[in-house]
Amino acid sequence: MQPMVAEILDGKRLARELHAEVKKQAEALAAGGTRPGLATVLLGDDPASQSYIKSKIKACHEDRIESFHHGMPAETSETELLELVATLGGDPRVHGILVQLPLPAHIDESKVITAIPPAKDVDGFHPANLGRLGLKGAEAAFAPCTPAGVIEILERAGVTISGKRAVVLGRSRIVGLPVSMLLLRNDATVTICHSRTADIGSVTREADILVAAIGRPRFVTADMVKPGAVVIDVGVNRVDDASRKRGYRLVGDCDFEAVAEVASAITPVPGGVGPMTIAMLMKNTLTAATVR
Amino acid sequence: MQPMVAEILDGKRLARELHAEVKKQAEALAAGGTRPGLATVLLGDDPASQSYIKSKIKACHEDRIESFHHGMPAETSETELLELVATLGGDPRVHGILVQLPLPAHIDESKVITAIPPAKDVDGFHPANLGRLGLKGAEAAFAPCTPAGVIEILERAGVTISGKRAVVLGRSRIVGLPVSMLLLRNDATVTICHSRTADIGSVTREADILVAAIGRPRFVTADMVKPGAVVIDVGVNRVDDASRKRGYRLVGDCDFEAVAEVASAITPVPGGVGPMTIAMLMKNTLTAATVR
């Protein structure tokens, strides 16, 4: 077996740095009379969603951000949810509002997201915020937390983005599209690939920076990566693993061990982009409280 | 001199087709009691802006769309303009609102655009509309007229977009970004280039569909184009021409004659994308009146 050549970009460590910065600023804000506050809303009891929300509330406590959590039954009507969002929108203690997705099928997700005031949309999913993402010099926007975390990792790892060829695998509203816009705003030449892309390997091999967000376990193989590329793996996929007590393990969209022999740097899964996502949520909440 | 190989994509003819369709539907709507209406707003007396507005009003008349024009002095305050926009926003006869850009320097353009109700934003520049552009299956949005015109030309010319590599030169809010989003929504693999792109020719040569919107006269030379590519030239640049009475002529972002020997199809300037832009404005206004 060849030795690994890639630097492992440690998202946990980078996230710890960011949390420490947020905490310090949150304390300074609180000393000035404004305690930053984040409202979280969860419908139903999906275990994955519950686990995400728990991590977010925990991060609030650690970073000195006031947490207002609203757990509601899965049967909650769209009207009730919209009323709650409106109440939170008018609550001066609440600087950020996060409605945990996905929502139950009887609720129009886009209606709920659009009901969040853009200035409190710390998840960055409001179309008015998404629409500003690609614009240099446009009004400050909240970038969605995972894409913002990708950029934060690149910056903190000292990777130059400007002038580089960046290829993004995936065009979702949550990751692929916004991360493309952020890379573009940072002066990369950006290519967006997806399920309809022909000869996808020939496209990904052009990338100096490759962002995988396609949601397929180990889809990106070593031959799809240009030697020396920086690879950011946003995928979180469960694969069966009988050797684990819970019967599965988490893997990214990249064949990590093989790609690490080709890339110059790569984020692991777990422990790469994941920890940065929650840290960016805290940072966005702090920004929302500061702007006010 | 070699013979031209490229098919010339005649924007004038395609626009005529579209105008005829809009007119027919506008008459049908009017027969049902709703006459589509477009409000245009022009500050000052810039000759280019006046000429654009004149063409738009003329198109309204021809396509049976009611035209409400508001010409105001260049000194109009931002508050006055915002008041007018609010009035038009509440006027049930007005289905579309177009504020001619650029606005005088003392007015915050983004504030004015954001004040237009997204449902009347037939120019497609409201962030809430821009943000929905790249989303498949998202709420219907108005696409900005020039980018929408580019797609309309490709479709009417029978060019397959899905699965093709599209390269967009330029990342402006008005053309580059939205046309990239529309190409992506049509399942192209999209690369966005700009002034900071390294070795731009190597990128443009990957394009099956090349959209030039960089605003530099004859920037795209034949060696930058893959043989057989479809080239859409959005540029409109003045170059000195002593042989013309007015002392200049209009050229696109492509070296037309040379590129036409390499491409399989190309839009001329003038007479390509330009005529489609106003036709798309009429189509958007019709849609706004229909949705209501």
The DSSP symbol for A270 reads S
Task: Give the residue among B47, B52, B106 at the shortest CA–CA distance from B74.
Answer: B106
Residue A157, classified by CB atoms within 10 Å of its CB into exposed (0-12), middle (13-18) or buried (19+), is middle
- The pTM of this model reads 0.91
- Integer Cα distance of A126 and A175 in angstroms: 14
Condensed to tens digits (0 to 9), the pLDDT of residues A207-219 reads 999 999 999 999 9
A160: CB partners within 8 A, 6+ apart: none
Question: Which residue numbers of B are catalytic?
Answer: 56, 100, 123
Contact state of A134 with B197 under an 8 Å Cβ cutoff: no
Q: Is the predicted pLDDT of residue A5 greater than 90, yes or no?
A: no
In this structure, what token pair is assigned to residue A43? 């419908």
Residues β-bridged to residue B210 = B167, B231
Taking the CA of residue B13 and the nearest CA in chain A, the distance in Å comes to 32
- Segment (H or E) for A58: helix A47-62
CA angle, residues B266, B269, B274, in degrees to nearest 5: 100
Taking a contact as any Cβ pair under 8 Å apart, which residues of chain B between 200 and 219 contact chain A? 203
A106: CB partners within 8 A, 6+ apart: A77, A78
Return the percentage of chain B with pLDDT > 70, whole number.
96
Q: What is the pLDDT of residue A139?
A: 55
Spell out where A179-274 has E strands. Answer: 189-193, 209-212, 230-233, 237-240, 248-251, 265-266
Among A25, A63, A100, A120, which one carries the catalytic annotation? A100
Taking the CA of residue B172 and the nearest CA in chain A, the distance in Å comes to 8
CATH number of B143-274: 3.40.50.720
Please name the member of A132, A189, A191 whose beta carbon is closest to the beta carbon of B189: A191
- Integer Cα distance of B95 and B88 in angstroms: 9
Condensed to tens digits (0 to 9), the pLDDT of residues A233-282 reads 999 999 999 999 989 999 999 999 999 999 999 999 999 999 999 999 99
Counting one residue from chain A and one from chain B, the pairs whose CB atoms sit within 8 A come to: 92
For the segment(s) B34-117, the CATH number from 2.40.50.140, 3.55.40.20, 3.40.50.12240, 3.40.50.10860 is 3.40.50.10860
Q: What is the mean pLDDT of residues A110-131?
A: 89
Peptide bond into B270 cis (omega under 30): yes
Q: What is the mean pLDDT of residues A18-22?
A: 97
Contact state of B193 with A196 under an 8 Å Cβ cutoff: no
Q: Can A34-117 and A143-274 be said to share one CATH topology? A: yes
Residue B282, classed as helix, strand or coil, is: helix
User: Is A50 one of the catalytic residues?
Assistant: no
- Integer Cα distance of A122 and B81 in angstroms: 31
Residue B161 at interface with chain A, using a CB cutoff of 8 Å:
no
Interface test with A, best of B189, B190, B193, B214 (most A CBs within 10 A): B189
Residue A202, classed as helix, strand or coil, is: helix
Condensed to tens digits (0 to 9), the pLDDT of residues B204-217 reads 999 999 999 999 99
Condensed to tens digits (0 to 9), the pLDDT of residues B149-206 reads 999 999 999 999 999 999 999 999 889 999 999 999 999 999 999 999 999 999 999 9
Q: What is the pLDDT of residue B139?
A: 55
Number of residues that make up chain B: 292
Among A25, A56, A208, A255, which one carries the catalytic annotation? A56
Condensed to tens digits (0 to 9), the pLDDT of residues B46-74 reads 998 999 999 999 999 999 999 999 999 99
Taking the CA of residue B129 and the nearest CA in chain A, the distance in Å comes to 7
Q: Under a CB-based contact definition with an 8 Å cutoff, are residues A95 and A285 in contact?
A: yes
Peptide bond into B102 cis (omega under 30): yes
Q: What is the pLDDT of residue A89?
A: 97
Q: Could you tell me the residue ranges of all domains in chain A?
A: 34-117, 143-274
Q: Are strands A230-233 and A209-212 parallel, antiparallel or unpaired?
A: parallel
- Integer Cα distance of A31 and A40 in angstroms: 24
Condensed to tens digits (0 to 9), the pLDDT of residues B265-285 reads 999 999 999 999 999 999 999
Please name the member of A128, A191, A192 whose beta carbon is closest to the beta carbon of B131: A128
Q: How confident is the model at residue B138 (pLDDT cuts 50, 70, 90)?
A: low
Among A25, A63, A120, A123, which one carries the catalytic annotation? A123
- Between B222 and A128, residue with greater pLDDT: B222
Q: What is the pLDDT of residue B140?
A: 53
Residue B122: CB atoms within 10 Å:
27
Taking the CA of residue A194 and the nearest CA in chain B, the distance in Å comes to 7
Q: Under a CB-based contact definition with an 8 Å cutoff, are residues B218 and B173 in contact?
A: no
Q: Under a CB-based contact definition with an 8 Å cutoff, are residues B290 and B278 in contact?
A: no
Interface test with B, best of A190, A200, A204 (most B CBs within 10 A): A190
Return the percentage of chain A with pLDDT > 70, whole number.
96
